Amino acid sequence: MKYKIIVTGPVGAGKTTAINTLTDNSALMTDALASDLTTRNRKETTTVAMDYGSVLLADGTVANIYGTPGQQRFEFMWDILVQGAHSLILLLDNSRNYPFRDLKYYINNFADFIKDKGLVVGVTWSDKKLEPPIEAYQQWLRSLEIEASVMFVDAREKNDMMTLLEASLQLIPQSGFSDISKVKIDNPVEVTDTLEPLAEVIDTKTYESHDKILLTEKSMKQVQKIKGVKGVTLTNSMGELLQSTIDDDQMNEFIAFLSGIAPSFENTANIGEVHRIMLRGPKDDNLTVFVEKDRSLGVRSEKRISIPALSQQIEDMLQWSE
């Protein structure tokens, strides 16, 4: 029996490493050098199409594992890779500043598949950052009305990845796969308690679910350092200019105006939340406004800069900033 398993998640969560671990470093990868400093500080390369590996289990089952690119500008590949898949593994990076934002984003993008096939969540990098705990992810999943096993994993450890794979295979009807003993593991080690699915644990503590990035003057300074960025503004939800490095009063007023009308536009146009407003003229610089709950970040960039690539750099910079 052959099954197609999808591994997805944000940049740096460990998708490529996980697939390499499962396949004893024999996975097919489509990595390219990371183009931005923020990503390169954490990993030298990034997946631009997909990762692929095949795992032969002890009972003869073949798990064909496909890793999606983490960068959102390649999300068109997600729809392609998910076709014909049997289950989905979501890897989340516990060291990112807003892991709930990642959880919500991927659940929304794979909503139809998850409703039909289910989901297993593996949380990586808990060795770098212990908070939030596993109970927070369970609570967040319940708030999103998703039933899924959640476990802390190390993408470099084969037992961890095999346990995650097993949990994923258990979701497949008539797969006949319900016991970890059917997995062939070389040099097995003891599986720690943190790898047990904890869906049954009742936790009365409430964990805050931040899916809006806090934009500050520090955020401005970080974004200003990105190559190709010519100026940055910070406005509040009322469309009032708070700070700016753009020496153009009309431009500042225009950005503030765009920030202020975003909530009204959401309500009148009935198109859901507006997260980015992008303008690109035939000759002038690019203008992108990143809209969050309380504040918005306006970014003026050189015309040659790709707006999707710039958006990804800013998202990752704010997710990993100290």
Confidence of residue 110 (pLDDT cuts 50, 70, 90): very high
pLDDT over 60 (residue 295): yes
Q: How many folded domains does the chain comprise?
A: 2
Task: Quote the mean pLDDT of the chain.
Answer: 81
CATH number at residue 280: 3.30.450.30
Residue 14 counted as domain residue = yes
Residue 223's domain spans which residues?
A: 217-320
Assess whether 41 and 138 both reside in one domain. yes
Percent of the chain with pLDDT over 70: 78
pLDDT tens track for 72-103: 767 777 888 889 999 999 999 999 999 999 99
Assess whether 189 and 223 both reside in one domain. no
Query: C-alpha 106: how far from its chain's center?
Result: 7
Confidence of residue 14 (pLDDT cuts 50, 70, 90): very high
pLDDT tens track for 209-267: 877 888 889 999 999 999 899 999 999 888 899 999 999 999 999 998 888 877 666 56
Point out the least confidently predicted range of 25-39, 97-111, 266-280: 25-39
The predicted structure's pLDDT at residue 183: 42
The predicted structure's pLDDT at residue 104: 94
Percent of the chain with pLDDT over 90: 42
Residue 31 counted as domain residue = yes
Selected residue with higher pLDDT from 182 and 86: 86
The predicted structure's pLDDT at residue 192: 38
Assess whether 43 and 160 both reside in one domain. yes
Residue 201 counted as domain residue = no
Pull the structure tokens for residue 254.
């225009």
pLDDT over 70 (residue 194): no
Confidence of residue 52 (pLDDT cuts 50, 70, 90): confident
Report the distance separating Cα 105 and Cα 194, nearest Å: 25
The predicted structure's pLDDT at residue 181: 42
- Report which DSSP code applies to 28: B
Assess whether 38 and 90 both reside in one domain. yes
pLDDT over 80 (residue 124): yes
Handedness of CA 134, 135, 140, 142 (dihedral sign): positive
CATH number at residue 118: 3.40.50.300
Report the distance separating Cα 19 and Cα 66, nearest Å: 8
As a whole number, mean pLDDT of residues 116-144 equals 94
In the chain the beta strands, taken as DSSP E runs, fall at 2-8, 31-33, 45-47, 51-56, 62-67, 87-93, 120-124, 149-152, 229-236, 241-244, 276-280, 286-291, 295-301
As a whole number, mean pLDDT of residues 286-290 equals 90
Assess whether 155 and 250 both reside in one domain. no
- Measured in degrees and rounded to the nearest 5, phi and psi for residue 130 equal -75, -25
| Secondary element (H or E) of residue 157 | none
As a whole number, mean pLDDT of residues 270-292 equals 79
Assess whether 189 and 221 both reside in one domain. no
Among residues 162, 195, 228, the one where a domain terminates is 195
As a whole number, mean pLDDT of residues 142-171 equals 94
Assess whether 19 and 92 both reside in one domain. yes
Closest CA relative to residue 262, chosen from 297, 280, 299, 237? 237
Pull the structure tokens for residue 30.
């489509």
Report the distance separating Cα 55 and Cα 27, nearest Å: 10
The predicted structure's pLDDT at residue 120: 97
